[in-house]
Chains A and B, each alone.
Chain A
Amino acid sequence: MLNRTAENVARATPEPLARKVRGISDKGLAWLFISPTILLLLAINIFPLFWAIYLSFTNYRANRPNEVVKNLGLANYQRILGDKDVWIAMQTTAHFVFWTILLQTLIGFTLAWLIDRKFRGHAFWTTLILVPMMLSPAVVGNFWRFLYEPQIGLFSYVISFVSGIPPTDIQMLSNVSLAPWSIIIVDTWMWTPYVMLICLAGLRSIPEYIYEAAEVDRASNWRQFWSITLPMALPFIMLAVLFRGIENFKMFDMVNLLTGGGPGSTTEVASITLKRQAFESWRTGYSSAFAIILFVAVFGLANIYVKALNKVKQR
């Protein structure tokens, strides 16, 4: 019936119009629909990437548009890779990424495991735990800056109450040893719920019958955790680590708001160095090369990691 109607419509369509419609194939139509998106991607993602690659081989400076742009070959790359400050910034970034991921994974998974017990009021606690993640990083940064304030900050008073150290001596953002940890604490506070959420999805995806079979075999809770829960939730945990790793590698907002990279250069992560070179020192060519190096590093590490993730999933 439907086919007959379609045939009738086709027959009734005037020949010139029918020829036009016949001119667009299914593939053509598909391209027609996706071309705006592709054009947009080319304009705002791909073109800037290639432009940055080109600039990375030059001495171009955005604040000196009238100056002759010279081709420097690999000089920018050589300079970056030989720059002690860049390596210090990379080490700071690695330290930050390692500790935030470790803490967020441990706490996030523990919280997910607890929430998964489905105790009374677990929905309320889940929502409450998720609140930090919903806040804007700008709000969180400013809010914690006040909490860390040695003279009026609540954080200093709580630590002082517990440890007996005067609050004015607890200078989280000014002390060279404490400043990196102050950022790690805030990032962990804010993003652990995100890790928890992914882990919770992993835990909820484990079929109940596996635990029932384990209980029939008289496996202890501990054995069930190590042999069922952890291996089956591992792909989800690894996914959370990947997401947080990529995010924290390019962390900027929290560091900028809390310490601005200080004291000295103690918390100057790679993205802060990059921003300073690009938009304060206006070394556009140099900073483009730095951005490319960071891009390759993240892309390479993420690729290796995804391969490992796939292997775990296939087990």
Chain B
Amino acid sequence: MKSSLKLALGLASAISASAAVSNVAHAEDLTLCWAAWDPANALVELSKDFTKQTGIGMKFEFVPWTNYADRFLNELNSHGKLCDLIIGDSQWIGGAAENGHYVKLNDFFDKEKISMDDFVPATVVGYSEWPKNTPNYWALPAMGDVVGWTYRKDWFSKPELQKEFKEKYGWDLGPPTTFDQLKQIAEFFQKRQIDGKTVYGASIYTERGSEGITMGAMDVLYSYGFQYENPKKPYEMEGFVNSDKAVKGLEFYKALYDCCTPPGASNSYMGEGVDAFKSGQVAMHMNFTFTWPGLQKDENVGGDKIGYFVNPKGPDGDQFAQLGGQGISVVSYSDKQEAALKYIKWFANKDVQAKWWSLGGYSCLNAVVKDPNFPASQPYAQAFLDSMAIVKDFWAEPSYAPLLQASQKRFHDYVVAGQGTAKEALDGLVKDWTQIFQDDGKI
């Protein structure tokens, strides 16, 4: 009787103790929300160090890019508690700040001596500030990203192709520095037989559903002279969005799509681009730089076969590239804000940022990217640095979603479906965007 009582008591205390331990552990677990892509896997690896140091467990909620915005904006709008930390897209910052989804980080940064001067300026403006160019911070720059290009170095270096190219175009086949050169190279490779396979010129963004074609077309339009608004008068778009130069840029993008993309590439974005390059279909490939570490490691097209170049210059020598990437924010509806802030403090640390880069993430910390060894640390490091120096981003207004939907429609209608002219597309865009800002009471 005595022994069975002891046994029962022992069991009961063991059960309650284990329940208490597991409760404590779960109470401290943080959930980080992000897109399901390669850098997210690197972050899982990196975050193990955080758990080791603090005892705070990390859970992750990763959603594919095509549903990323829908899923997490719904979560934020419904004041959900799923995410304690969120790595939200750069364009969300306006809406997230104005609607109170993110915790403002200024006081925290001051207290923890985290200075935004320590980060690449473009990433601070793009990922952290709202209103733009004011010292109001809602995120810590987490993942630097920008649209750049990869090319098949092995094809470019074939002597017979080099000779033929030089004879045809009068300059040496190599990474293009202007968009005209890029188109000439793309035309040269289009439907060419290489190693017994038909290959094509370039893979560019044409996706209709989310943001693809806008990210791609803007990448060209910026360097052709497109501007979102009158720099002296905010929200005045007539003559800037639809300037003659912008029209020429959009015409160029359509010409590139028509002449030099693989068959059926009418709905391509990041994944389709990577597939086209990896399967040896294209000579050049437009994509965000986050895809580069994976491509560099690829057995068929990586290593010595791949090269990287910065988005080329426009006809007047202007050179810009579409900003991608995200900052990490604390969700204001989280019950674990203190632990979430601990994670941000840990993530801002120089050693953590260095490891982040080594694992395949793109650090935005000056101490990492301005390190003298950085350009040689990876074959694509220099192209990434040069690209980050010329970035421009899409509207980050609270109405970014309708603004984006309007450009998606106008660009796809013209570039892919061939409806109307570039001028009509951009005039229509001015009309759509003006209406959206009028609805918002900004005009």
> What is the interface of chain A, defined by CB distance below 8 A to chain B?
59, 62-66, 85, 148-151, 168-169, 171, 173-174, 176, 256, 259-266, 276, 279-283
- Further pairs besides A256-B209, A282-B77: 15, Cβ < 8 Å: A62-B77, A64-B95, A65-B77, A151-B263, A260-B267, A262-B266, A264-B417, A264-B419, A265-B417, A266-B417, A276-B405, A279-B70, A279-B74, A282-B73, A282-B402
> Is there a chain A Cβ closer than 8 Å to B245's Cβ?
no
How many angstroms from the CA of A64 to the CA of B73 in the assembled complex? Answer: 11
Q: How many A-B residue pairs have CB under 8 A?
A: 95
Contact between chains at A151 and B264 (CB < 8 Å): yes
Contact between chains at B208 and A63 (CB < 8 Å): no
CB distance from A58 to the nearest CB of B (A): 13
Contact between chains at A260 and B209 (CB < 8 Å): yes
Contact between chains at B409 and A265 (CB < 8 Å): yes
Closest 9 CB pairs between A and B? A264-B417, A174-B266, A264-B413, A281-B402, A262-B208, A150-B263, A168-B263, A150-B264, A260-B209
Contact between chains at B412 and A263 (CB < 8 Å): yes
Contact between chains at A263 and B99 (CB < 8 Å): no
How many angstroms from the CA of A150 to the CA of B276 in the assembled complex? Answer: 13
**Chain A binding surface, main DSSP class:** loop
How many angstroms from the CA of A100 to the CA of B42 in the assembled complex? Answer: 47
Q: A279-B70, A282-B401 are in contact. Are A262 and B417 (CB under 8 A)?
A: yes
CB distance from A248 to the nearest CB of B (A): 21
How many angstroms from the CA of A57 to the CA of B268 in the assembled complex? Answer: 38
Contact between chains at A260 and B264 (CB < 8 Å): no
Contact between chains at A264 and B401 (CB < 8 Å): no
How many angstroms from the CA of A151 to the CA of B99 in the assembled complex? Answer: 46
**Cβ contact of A280, chosen from B70, B412, B416, cutoff 8 A:** B70
Q: Which residues of A contact B79 (CB under 8 A)?
A: 65
Q: A64-B398, A264-B417 are in contact. Are A174 and B264 (CB under 8 A)?
A: yes
1/0 contact trace for B258-286 toward A, CB 8 Å? 00001111110000000000000100000
Contact between chains at A63 and B77 (CB < 8 Å): yes
Contact between chains at B405 and A281 (CB < 8 Å): yes
**Cβ contact of B100, chosen from A66, A150, A264, A281, cutoff 8 A:** A66
Q: A261-B208, A262-B412 are in contact. Are A63 and B264 (CB under 8 A)?
A: no
**Cβ contact of B266, chosen from A151, A263, A282, cutoff 8 A:** A263
CB distance from B205 to the nearest CB of A (A): 13
Closest to A66 in B: B99
**Cβ contact of A63, chosen from B95, B209, B267, cutoff 8 A:** B95
Contact between chains at A259 and B267 (CB < 8 Å): yes
Q: Which residues of B contact A261 (CB under 8 A)?
A: 208-209
> Is there a chain A Cβ closer than 8 Å to B135's Cβ?
no
87-108 of chain B: CB within 8 A of chain A:
95, 99-100
> Is there a chain A Cβ closer than 8 Å to B64's Cβ?
no
399-424 of chain B: CB within 8 A of chain A:
401-402, 404-405, 409, 412-414, 416-419
Most buried by A among B69, B79, B409: B409
